[in-house]
Copies of this chain bind each other. A is one copy, B any other.
Amino acid sequence: MTGWLCIAGLGPGDEHLITPEVSAALAAATDVVGYIPYVARIAPRDGLTLHPSDNRVELDRARAALTMAAEGHKVVVVSSGDPGVFAMAAAVFEALERQPAWQALDIRVLPGITAMLAAAAKAGAPLGHDFCAINLSDNLKPAALIEARVRAAAGADFAMAFYNPRSASRSETFGRILEVLRQQCGPERLVIFARAVSTPEEAIHTVALRDATPEMADMRTVVIVGNAATRRVGRFVYTPRSALPAAPP
């Protein structure tokens, strides 16, 4: 039996947002590896072993998956959203870098609908012009670097999507970022808090930066900050395609 490893994105939650490519890989797999709530999304079946593991053990999980693939298993590592955006793909390549013998394995990354795109679609089109994606978790980078990137992005008038804005263990980073944004973007800038997009717990709220508080976000929230031109139209929020003044209607 020839083993393989797919690092697959399950999208934000709704089964209808899982690509057929990912569904086919899951149907062919012998083993599914991932963080507990993502593995819980996979239906059990004969011939499939589920390997849920806790958060913050990404490198161990990647090694375990690569070991099984090297032994001939057909392994899918599952991430929420897209595996290449603040998710498992980078961890697998880190493990691969430390163990060159695994580099000959059949390894593929299968893209998925990442949270910011699902959130943007529900809100309208807030990422319709140039934008940045920034992980606000300071597990793996200093808070000063996060702040410097937010300043650079706001200074160049990018729209921004923030992943992992807030957890119990670091309640201050996001509050500080909101302060920086208020200084640079002014109180009227629109901010979208999109929680648990495409799940039964979905909640999407748009507020002016003046009214944004850290408590509006948790680890299931993606936060989108518009650029200077982002505005409401009816129940939607969108960023026009043009950085030039609007043409007359």
Q: Which of B84, B110, B234 contacts A96 (CB 8 A)?
A: B234
For the complex, is A216 an interface residue (Cβ under 8 Å from B)?
no
Contact B241 A90, beta carbon cutoff 8 Å? yes
**Which residue of A24, A100, A149, A239 has the most chain B CB atoms within 10 A of its CB atom?**
A149
A244-B140 CB under 8 A given contacts A90-B128, A128-B90, A249-B98 = yes
Q: How far is the CB of A198 from chain B (nearest CB, A)?
A: 9
Contact A158 B141, beta carbon cutoff 8 Å? no
Q: Interface of chain A, helix or strand or loop or mixed?
A: mixed
A132-B135 CB under 8 A given contacts A117-B85, A148-B156, A236-B93 = no
Contact B243 A93, beta carbon cutoff 8 Å? no
Contact B82 A234, beta carbon cutoff 8 Å? no
For the complex, is A142 an interface residue (Cβ under 8 Å from B)?
yes
Q: How far is the CB of A151 from chain B (nearest CB, A)?
A: 8
A145-B243 CB under 8 A given contacts A17-B111, A117-B85, A121-B110 = yes
State the copy count for this chain.
2
Contact B103 A132, beta carbon cutoff 8 Å? no
A84-B127 CB under 8 A given contacts A90-B240, A240-B94 = yes
Which 8 A-B residue pairings sit nearest by Cβ, starting from the closest?
A: A90-B128, A103-B234, A152-B156, A141-B243, A93-B238, A89-B125, A109-B121, A16-B21
- A residues contacting B by CB (< 8 A) are 11, 14-21, 24, 58, 82-86, 89-94, 96-98, 100, 103-104, 107-114, 117-118, 120-122, 124-135, 140-142, 145, 148-149, 151-153, 155-158, 231, 233-236, 238-244, 249
